[in-house]
Amino acid sequence: MSGPEFPAAFCELPSLPRDEDGPVFAEPWQAQAFAMAVRLSALGYFSWTEWAEALSAELAAAVERDEADEDGSEYYQHWVATLEKLVTAKGLTGAPELFERKAAWADAYRHTPHGQPVQLRPGFRISYAYRQSPLISVTREDGVSKQIRVQDGHLFVCNGCCCGQTEKGFPALPLAEFKQQWKKRGMRRRFHLTVSGCLGPCPLANVILLQIHGRSMWFHSINHAGDVDVIYNYVERMLVDETDTEMPAALAARQFQRYLGDVIQEERPCDE
Ligand code: FES
């Protein structure tokens, strides 16, 4: 969709998704984010030059963290991140308030029946831990400090010598669904996805390893797009609640133990 008239300076930003009429937006929230930046600049909270520099820094930092926007689909995620940084730097709002508002909308979305308008639930509160900065500095061996993102968890989807190899008689792997949902759900900055080589237990293909909040969970026979939905719903629930959540029965039926420590713990649940 094309947007309304916007100042030329904003529309000339490098890598801005656009056509001959100006900026284009894949979804309404992108146009809203664009309009907010334009409006705040017009009101004098920051200049266009400030905005362009802040956005460039955000895009460069994403590349540095290996979160580059390769196909342009995440351009407005970076736009929103820039907007958040500028409005907090200018004192228009605080980082805790922004985090709380985002979590409140996520909560509202989860609790709204399909087809009904999403509305904030009165009295919603999030935990303090949710508000912590997810970036830390680490000094490399050459003395250079780099920022990395501290994450809640990581999903390894095996696509090695057997998992997904239909020509060898193994079930197809819903790999595209894993990638698409990971991006679409906007969890990239709290939860990482890696498509890996062989994870080991080939006879159980298709295998995934979920690590979250310090725990490792292995699952087999993840063969359908619907399985991916169940997995990400489970992960999303734990990201929002910031604690372990009851595992869906469909996943529990396909969980297996792979690490010695887990097996020993399971055999002696009431350890002295
Ligand atoms: S190829 Fe997936 S476990 Fe070996």
Q: Write the pLDDT tens digit of every residue in 44-102.
A: 999 888 998 999 898 888 888 777 777 777 888 889 989 999 998 888 887 767 777 88
Query: Is residue 271 pLDDT above 60, yes or no?
Result: no
Diameter of the chain measured on Cα atoms = 71
61 and 160 fall within a common domain: no
Instruction: Return the number of other C-beta atoms located less than 10 Å from residue 188's C-beta.
Output: 15
170 and 88 fall within a common domain: no
pLDDT of residue 234: 92
The encoded tokens of residue 46 equal 């920051």
By three-state DSSP, how is residue 60 classified? helix
Measured CA to CA, the distance from residue 194 to residue 206 in angstroms comes to: 15
Mutate to test the pocket of ligand 1, among 161, 166, 206 (most ligand atoms within 8 A of CB): 161
In a domain, 122, yes or no: no
Q: What is the mean pLDDT of residues 154-158?
A: 97
| Cross-strand pairs, 8 | none
Measured CA to CA, the distance from residue 194 to residue 182 in angstroms comes to: 11
Rounded distance from Cα 128 to ligand 1 centre (Å): 39
- Of the residues 52, 75, 93, the one at which a domain ends: 93
Rounded distance from Cα 166 to ligand 1 centre (Å): 13
165 and 77 fall within a common domain: no
User: Buried b vs exposed e over 57-68: b needs ≥16 C-beta within 10 Å?
Assistant: ebbeebeeeebe
Of the candidates 1, 51, 53, the residue with the CA atom closest to the CA atom of residue 28: 1
The encoded tokens of residue 250 equal 């469909």
256 and 162 fall within a common domain: yes
181 and 255 fall within a common domain: yes
The one-letter amino acid code at 257 reads Q
Q: What is the mean pLDDT of residues 152-177?
A: 96
By three-state DSSP, how is residue 248 classified? coil
In a domain, 204, yes or no: yes
- Of the residues 93, 122, 141, the one at which a domain ends: 93
DSSP 8-state code for residue 168? G
Rounded distance from Cα 153 to ligand 1 centre (Å): 21
157 and 263 fall within a common domain: yes
User: Using 50, 70 and 90 to split pLDDT, how confident is the model at 166?
Assistant: very high
Higher-pLDDT residue of 186 and 260 is 260
In a domain, 145, yes or no: no
CATH of the domain at 187: 3.40.30.10
In a domain, 116, yes or no: no
Pair 154, 194: CB distance under 8 Å: yes
In a domain, 124, yes or no: no
169 and 66 fall within a common domain: no
- Of the residues 60, 75, 93, the one at which a domain ends: 93
Rounded distance from Cα 206 to ligand 1 centre (Å): 7
pLDDT of residue 96: 67
160 and 255 fall within a common domain: yes
1-5, 31-35, 181-185: the lowest-pLDDT one: 1-5
Query: Is residue 138 pLDDT above 80, yes or no?
Result: yes
In a domain, 219, yes or no: yes
Share of the chain above pLDDT 70, in %: 86
pLDDT of residue 12: 65
In a domain, 41, yes or no: yes
DSSP 8-state code for residue 132? S
Domain count, the chain: 2
Ligand 1 contact via 1 beta carbon (within 6 Å)? no
Rounded distance from Cα 207 to ligand 1 centre (Å): 6
The encoded tokens of residue 139 equal 């000094």
Ligand 1 contact via 197 beta carbon (within 6 Å)? no
Of the candidates 172, 229, 238, the residue with the CA atom closest to the CA atom of residue 211: 238
Q: What are the Cα distances from residue 7, in Å, to 4, 48, 53, 117, 122?
A: 10, 10, 17, 32, 38
Query: Which residues form the domain of 251?
Result: 153-267
In a domain, 200, yes or no: yes
The one-letter amino acid code at 228 reads V
DSSP characters for 84-152? HHHHHHTTSS-HHHHHHHHHHHHHHHHHSPTTSPP-PPTT----GGGGS--EEEEE-TTS-EEEEE--S
DSSP 8-state code for residue 246? P
198-242 residue pLDDT tens:
999 999 999 999 999 889 999 999 999 999 999 998 998 888 777
Ligand 1 contact via 195 beta carbon (within 6 Å)? no
